[in-house]
Structure 1
């Protein structure tokens, strides 16, 4: 999807269904009752949310990257190791519970080959990762009325799928 095409927005997140999915997870893993998951989706459009979630559900995507400034813009705290989030599809339906297993904050250009590979997108190279993510972040920053500064800090997050069992790592 090029940056000039309209992007169908992600539907509102189904918070009650996300809470039910989280409760199912807690019933099997009560040791995580201390955590309150975030409920969110990947990307900035319904098709992108579905595309990236599909990569999670079918294997290669075990990492994600978010501008640190995006958390502040959304009024959220960045993830912490061990925290959970319920990932929804483009229709707002919760599909999986993810757990943050590794975090690093650094400038966008500090991404390495291993992280680009673990993110599981495109050809999984660092060069393509930089090209695609900078394009994405320029677009999302512009939508917020700010210009992307390429020295901005990024939260590099590795994750595991922990629920439902048929998708868990």
Structure 2
């Protein structure tokens, strides 16, 4: 579990460096679970990953609210250390099979193709759903897509 003071300090540094208007961040979390957290956090930190997806049905089971647009979030590495601060631009729910090539590319993983995205995410969602006692069905399951941009550290663009 991430150290709350460390998270607050990270956000305070980002807020001071960027003169952010927000008083706080919404959440701090790992992407892809511990196995992929370092790789995905690094993609976010460099600005290569600007979208992520999660299983819609899992929010109902875990009774978690859906992510919100217009908020800051801290992305953590495998050791639950803060790596990047993101701002969520948009959140929407769509069928798994309707995820577009653009979203697959924005997720920044593997070769960034839609085929690769479907393969990797079907396997990931299947494991996550099974762990929660339900079955993932690519033909009927829904995904929550979050589109964001990294605000801290500042991403160097060319």
Q: TM-score, normalised by structure 2?
A: 0.87
Offset of residue 98 of structure 1: 0.8
Kindly indicate whether the alpha-carbon contact (under 8 Å) linking 1:68 and 1:153 is maintained by their aligned counterparts in 2: yes
Offset of residue 31 of structure 1: 1.6
2:132 corresponds to: 144
* Alpha-carbon distance in 1 for matches of 2:26, 2:8: 9
- In structure 2, list runs of 5 or more residues that go unmatched: none
DSSP-derived class of the 2:47 partner: coil
CA RMSD of aligned residues (A): 1.9
Matched, 1:42 2:31: yes
Matched, 1:32 2:25: no
DSSP-derived class of the 2:54 partner: strand
Offset of residue 68 of structure 1: 1.8
Q: After superposition, where does 1:53-132 map in structure 2 within 5 Å?
A: 53-132=41-120
Q: How many positions carry a matched residue from both structures?
A: 155
* Alpha-carbon distance in 2 for matches of 1:122, 1:30: 32
Kindly indicate whether the alpha-carbon contact (under 8 Å) linking 1:38 and 1:84 is maintained by their aligned counterparts in 2: yes
Matched, 1:18 2:44: no
Kindly indicate whether the alpha-carbon contact (under 8 Å) linking 2:47 and 2:149 is maintained by their aligned counterparts in 1: no
Kindly indicate whether the alpha-carbon contact (under 8 Å) linking 1:41 and 1:49 is maintained by their aligned counterparts in 2: yes
Matched, 1:51 2:57: no
1:154 corresponds to: 143
| Deviation readout 1:52-109 (Å, 9 max, x if unpaired) | 1111223321110111233344443212221111110000101111111122211111
Runs of 4+ in 1 over 4 A off after TM superposition: none
Offset of residue 30 of structure 1: 4.2
DSSP-derived class of the 1:32 partner: coil
Q: TM-score, normalised by structure 1?
A: 0.82
DSSP-derived class of the 1:76 partner: coil
* Alpha-carbon distance in 1 for matches of 2:75, 2:100: 25
* Alpha-carbon distance in 2 for matches of 1:100, 1:85: 8
